Copies of this chain bind each other. A is one copy, B any other.
Amino acid sequence: MNPGVTSLDVARLARVSQSAVSRAFTPGRSVSAETRRRIMEAARALGYRPNAHARSLITGRSRIIGLVLSYLENLFYPVALEALARRLQRDGHHVLLFVNQHPNADDLVDEILQYHVDGIVLAASTLSSGLAQQCADAGIPVVLFNRVMAAGAAGAVSSVRSDNEGGGRALARFLAAAGHRRIAFIAGNEESSTNLERERGFRDGLAAAGLRIWARGVGNYDFDTARRAALEMFARPADRPDAVFVASDHMAFAVMDALRLELGLSIPDQVSVVGFDNVPQAAWGSYRLTTYEQPVAPMIEATVGLLERYLAGAGVPAAENVVVPGALVVRDSARQAPAGAAPARAPGRRRPPARGGRA
């Protein structure tokens, strides 16, 4: 029966002081080998485990990272969540989950701060900036994952994201090189930084090829909204786009289904579709989606790196905005440039993901 057994009980059994027990369980504290052995033996006999709450009450660190997210149906987030939890666990940290219910964002701040988390990861492309700012004001390091703050409100809020703008540009170049001329765009949440950056890069890339966006719809990062946007966009055969960039893979699947099954279009013969994220499903046979990869592992590594740097040095250093480079992943959902004209088809693995620079 574990609860109730305290460091004092262990101390009594091992015939040492309570402090000794505490020190035995704190790496880097000075305890003789013999004493430690006796203590550990007693601890095992009693089934003792240090009480994390008492511990964090003293030390001021909870070894808990708060994670805020809002929409798990887009596989990008579960995958990132799993990677983050695994990575933090390696260093003895753990993830406390907060799901963002829209109306009461303030309550959420309250709840997070009560737990005195060591850091906060905000992983939701759509999220009130106020939340981040409030937490940062409370002196807790905040890392935005897959998102940046609006330019004005700098604050002590860091961010990690992939190269959304570069990705958008690469996709535009890819579509243009394949000879597409009527290229459409289906946006995610129009106010989200991810969408703004991807769209900007995409427009830039098109402009470089002397093109503009042919048609534009809004999918709001939601499966069914994206489906309806696609149906509307492709309603009139006359001025139908011949390619479409959908701002997330998750929406791109909806678009592909709508085009193929509801409108009877053939992909990529009649229309090319490209997405963004490279979630696992993008590799599935039914989609084989050409997309821009957000490299989860390096992004998580950067996120944890930022957090741990904060934890090591007391006080919150200046905010950093890390941009992790992604990579174009070419599959079969989009027509390709005639051989020799454009970037070659990447057959297997893409270039290895590297640690990002700063903005």
Contacts and interface: CB of A to CB of B under 8 A. Distances in A.
Interface of A: 1-3, 47, 49-54, 56-57, 60, 62, 64, 67, 72-73, 75, 77-79, 81-82, 85-86, 89, 92, 94-99, 101, 110-111, 113-116, 137-139, 223, 253-254, 256-258, 260-262, 280-281, 284-287
B101 A86 contact: yes
Q: Which of A98, A99, A223, A262 has the most CB of B within 10 A?
A: A99
A99 B89 CA distance: 8
Top 3 A-B pairs ranked by shortest CB distance? A257-B285, A2-B138, A78-B78
A60 B254 CA distance: 48
13 contacts: A52-B115, A53-B54, A67-B97, A72-B81, A73-B79, A89-B111, A92-B111, A94-B111, A95-B97, A253-B284, A257-B284, A257-B286, A281-B281
Nearest to A56: B53
A120 to B, nearest CB: 13
A49 to B, nearest CB: 5
A43 to B, nearest CB: 11
B110 A49 contact: yes
A161 to B, nearest CB: 21
A118 B1 CA distance: 15
Contact of A53 (B1, B57, B85, B98): B57
B73 A113 contact: no
Contacts of A111: 89, 92, 94
Given A53-B54, A89-B111, A96-B97, 19 more contacts: A51-B116, A53-B56, A53-B57, A53-B115, A57-B57, A64-B96, A72-B82, A73-B79, A73-B280, A78-B78, A81-B97, A85-B97, A85-B99, A89-B101, A94-B96, A94-B98, A257-B285, A258-B285, A262-B285
A94 B75 contact: no
Contact of A138 (B3, B114, B254): B3
A111 B75 CA distance: 27
A96 B96 contact: yes
A94 B108 CA distance: 11
A81 B70 CA distance: 11
Contact of A54 (B2, B57, B82, B86): B57
A114 B50 contact: yes
Contacts of A92: 111
Nearest to A111: B94
A210 to B, nearest CB: 35
Contact of A114 (B52, B60, B110, B280): B52
Nearest to A77: B78
A3 B99 contact: no
